[in-house]
Amino acid sequence: MYPQTRVSRVIDPWLARLGTWLSWIWLVLLLVIVANVILRYLFSEGRIEFEELQWHLYSFGFLVGLSYAYQADAHIRVDVLHERFSPRLKAWVELYGTLLLTLPFVALVLVYGIPFVASSFALGEVSSSPGGLPFRWLIKAMLPIGFVLLLLAVIARLSRVWAFLFFGAHDDAR
| pLDDT at position 2 | 87
| pLDDT at position 172 | 44
Domain annotation covers residue 1: no
pTM for the full predicted model:
0.85
∠ CA 121-127-130 to the nearest 5 degrees?
Answer: 150
Pick out the chain residues at pLDDT < 50: 171-174
Q: What is the pLDDT of residues 126-170, one digit of tens each?
A: 887 777 778 888 889 999 999 999 999 999 999 999 999 998 755
| pLDDT at position 3 | 85
Category of 142 on φ-ψ map: left (φ > 0), alpha (ψ -120 to 50) or beta: alpha
| pLDDT at position 113 | 93
Domain annotation covers residue 25: yes
The range of the structural domain enclosing residue 144 comes to 6-172
| pLDDT at position 148 | 96
| pLDDT at position 174 | 40
112 CB neighbour count, 10 Å cutoff: 11
Domain annotation covers residue 112: yes
Q: How many domains does the chain have?
A: 1
> What is the residue-wise DSSP string for 12-67?
HHHHHHHHHHHTHHHHHHHHHHHHHHHHHHHH----HHHHHHHHHHHHHHHHHHHH
| pLDDT at position 77 | 67
| pLDDT at position 4 | 85
| pLDDT at position 106 | 97
Rounded Cα distance, 162 and 94, in Å: 10
